[in-house]
Structure 1
Amino acid sequence: MELPFHSLLYRYFFFAWLFMDVNQCDLFARAAAWHHNKGQARWLPRYIKRYLVSGALLFAIGWLIEHSSPVASAFFYVPGVMSLPMATVAGVAWIGLRVWD
């Protein structure tokens, strides 16, 4: 089954689809979801790298076109700067899933 482009783009940049909800009623379902999430944490460093590389590229593009059009550079600066909090959230989640038992 081939996914549409927008789904692939979403999965490339956002990692929430990898994880299961741990807030379930059954104790065994919670334990299974927690175990699944700990296994899926191995993908988080890849997302961190994607955020940092894409943020640096967007920031560089914004810097390059800032002199010709300051308003247009904001379209590159804002997502470039927002990649840092996304990388931080992914890093905290990765550390939490690796350390917390």
Structure 2
Amino acid sequence: MTTDKDSNEQSPELPFRSLLYRFLFFDWLFRDVGAAGTRLERHAAFQHNRRMSRYLPVYLRRWSFLTAFDFALGVLFEKVLQAGLLSAWFFTWSCVTLTGMLVITVAWLILTHARLS
């Protein structure tokens, strides 16, 4: 029988900020190909990144939800509550999250359809 102390030693929990960061941003999944020293290390890092690219649609789904949510809040504040400044805030964030969706899509397309030379 394991106690709570034993289970905490086996899998340390991340702080909420780190979990939230990992939930929204995907850079922690990938390795820096440019930092690799040899050709073999670059190839290994690139292959790792190609394998990790399978998680990018999950992040795309999360960011599309954020985009729709921010846009809906912008519409709510503009049409229903007549709060122009708050609606502009949420419309701006919907544009920012839409840009994040484009970055995720391009990264996914490059990693999944790249040809090795």
TM-score, normalised on structure 1? 0.92
SS of 1:66's partner is helix
SS of 2:110's partner is helix
Q: Does 1:94 align with 2:108?
A: yes
Q: Does 1:19 align with 2:19?
A: no
> What RMSD over aligned residues (CA atoms) do the two structures have, in Å?
1.1
Moved more, 37-46 or 24-33: 24-33
What are the Cα deviations for residues 40-80 of structure 1, in whole angstroms up to 9, with x where unaligned?
Answer: 00000111111111110111011101143111222221111
Higher Cα Rg, which structure: 2
RCO (CA 8 Å, sep 6+): is it higher in 1 or 2? 1
Give the structure 2 partner of residue 34 of structure 1.
46
TM-score, normalised on structure 2? 0.80
What displacement does 1:99 show? 0.8
Where structure 1 has 5 or more consecutive residues not aligned to the other structure, the ranges are none
Number of residue pairs matched by the alignment = 101
Give the structure 2 partner of residue 8 of structure 1.
19
SS of 1:54's partner is helix
Identical columns (%) = 41
Distance 1:46 1:83 in 2: 15
Q: Which runs of 4+ in 1 moved over 2 A?
A: none
Distance 1:32 1:22 in 2: 9
Where structure 2 has 5 or more consecutive residues not aligned to the other structure, the ranges are 1-11
Aligned 1:37-52 pairs, distance under 5 A = 37-52=49-64
Distance 2:95 2:20 in 1: 19
